[in-house]
């Protein structure tokens, strides 16, 4: 991990710089700015020969900075495959992936890893926390990978835990926390590095309805208040209703792509006296 490594080819700033700075970030006020993410004809084949299986069959998708996208679709339709590819955890077999105008497939393995650590946060259905490790240390982990000094790590991890409502729980291990709290720790870990994009693969899949809504409100707030672009896989329409946009995968392709005219929280009653507000 070398925070002084040379910048990536293209327009990505060096690791350690302000994630929002450096390079031509997409400008929402400029309709001609490139989207944050641009996929063209993305394919993914697992295995070879007789056992080869094509999980993605030509995915075209543009995602603007600041969007909140729910990805839905039947089991096996390629949602997780697409998420792993978007987060540079895996590479496509074919097609083009542009992130902030940079051709991801032209980057080296190290450069892709840096791009992943720098711009993406991940949240999974199973939380993926270290069991015998405190909430605070779990949240600090990606900052250790980044080579942040201890004092900065502690401060960033505490701030992230505060944002997910877990102040006071820093020294509890996952086993001492509820499922909803564990997912909050995982979200704190994902946002501690100040990512531009949060990739959440069925983040509420292991939670009951009330905890699921709490997690969704948290993701919604991160999107609205912090401008984090959220891409979330879900099987539940109630959770997808928080998103601004719904993309449906069927059989390795995008089958539909719709704007949500009234995301979930806007459906709640307006405060008293506010009914004259359009």
Ligand X SMILES: Nc1ncnc2c1ncn2[C@@H]1O[C@H](COP(=O)(O)OP(=O)(O)OP(=O)(O)O)[C@@H](O)[C@H]1O
Q: Which C-beta is closer to Mg ion: that of 80 or that of 204? A: 80
CB-wise, 88 or 232, nearer to Mg ion?
232
Handedness of CA 219, 221, 226, 228 (dihedral sign): positive
Q: Does 163 bind Mg ion (CB under 5 A)?
A: no
**What is the nearest approach in angstroms of ligand X to the Cβ of residue 90?**
8
# residues contacting ligand X (CB under 6 A): 12
Regarding 53 and contact with ligand X (CB under 6 A), the answer is yes
Q: Which of residues 118-157 bind ligand X (CB under 6 A)?
A: none
Shorter beta-carbon distance to ligand X: residue 57 or 226: 57
The answer to whether 204 contacts Mg ion (rule: CB under 5 A) is no
Backbone CA torsion sign across 107, 111, 113, 114: negative
Distance between CA 24 and CA 12 in Å, rounded? Answer: 8
Using the rule CB under 6 A, give the single segment among 13-21, 45-53, 185-193, 261-269 that binds ligand X: 45-53
* Burial label, 164 (beta-carbon count in 10 A; 0-12, 13-18, 19+): buried
In this chain, which of 15, 36, 79, 242 binds ligand X, going by CB under 6 A?
79
Residues 95 to 114: which contact ligand X by CB under 6 A? none
Assess contact for 30 and 136: CB atoms under 8 A: no
Q: Tell me which DSSP letter residue 134 carries.
A: -
Alpha helix locations (H) across 164-244?
Answer: 179-191, 209-226, 237-240
Percent of the chain as helix, strand, coil, to the nearest 5: 35, 20, 45
77 binds Mg ion (CB under 5 A): no
Q: Of 13 and 58, which has the nearer Cβ to ligand X? A: 58
Q: Does 204 bind ligand X (CB under 6 A)?
A: no
Tokens of 6: 């040379």
| Per CB under 6 A, 80 contacts ligand X | yes
Q: Within its chain, how far is the Cα of 263 from the centroid?
A: 18
Instruction: Determine which residue in the list 77, 134, 204, 229 makes contact with ligand X, applying CB under 6 A.
Output: 77
Q: Which of residues 95-124 bind Mg ion (CB under 5 A)?
A: none
Provide CB contacts within 8 A for 211, sequence distance 6+: 178, 179, 180, 183, 204
First to last CA, the chain: 51
Asked whether position 46 contacts ligand X by CB under 6 A, the answer is yes
Binding of Mg ion by 80 (CB under 5 A): yes
Specify the residue, 61 or 188, whose C-beta has the smaller distance to ligand X. 61
Which does residue 268 bind out of ligand X, Mg ion, none, counting CB within 5 to 8 angstroms by kind? none
- Residue ranges that bind ligand X, judged by CB under 6 A: 46-47, 53, 55, 73, 75-81
């Amino acid at each position: 991990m070398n925070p002084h490594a040379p910048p990536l080819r293209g327009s990505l700033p060096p690791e350690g710089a302000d994630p929002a700075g450096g390079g031509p970030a997409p400008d929402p006020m400029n309709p001609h700015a490139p989207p944050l993410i641009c996929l063209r004809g993305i394919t993914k084949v697992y295995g070879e020969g007789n056992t080869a299986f094509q999980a993605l069959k030509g995915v075209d998708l543009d995602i603007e900075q600041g969007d909140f996208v729910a990805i839905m679709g039947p089991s096996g339709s390629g949602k997780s495959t697409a998420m792993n590819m978007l987060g540079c955890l895996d590479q496509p077999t074919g097609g083009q992936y542009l992130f902030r105008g940079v051709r991801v497939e032209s980057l080296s393995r190290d450069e892709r890893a840096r791009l992943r650590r720098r711009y993406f946060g991940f949240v999974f259905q199973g939380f993926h926390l270290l069991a015998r490790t405190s909430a605070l240390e779990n949240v600090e982990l990606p900052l250790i990978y980044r080579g942040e000094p201890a004092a900065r790590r502690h401060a960033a991890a505490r701030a992230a835990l505060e944002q997910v409502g877990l102040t006071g729980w820093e020294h509890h291990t996952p086993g001492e926390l509820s499922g909803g709290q564990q997912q909050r720790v995982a979200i704190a870990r994902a946002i501690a590095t100040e990512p531009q994009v949060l990739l959440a693969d069925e983040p509420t899949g292991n939670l009951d309805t009330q905890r699921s809504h709490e997690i969704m409100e948290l993701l919604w707030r991160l999107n609205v208040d912090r401008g984090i672009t959220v891409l979330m896989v879900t099987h539940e329409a109630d959770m997808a209703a928080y998103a601004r946009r719904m993309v449906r995968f069927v059989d390795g392709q995008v089958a539909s792509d719709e704007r949500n005219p009234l995301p979930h929280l806007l459906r709640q009653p307006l405060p008293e006296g506010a009914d004259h507000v359009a």
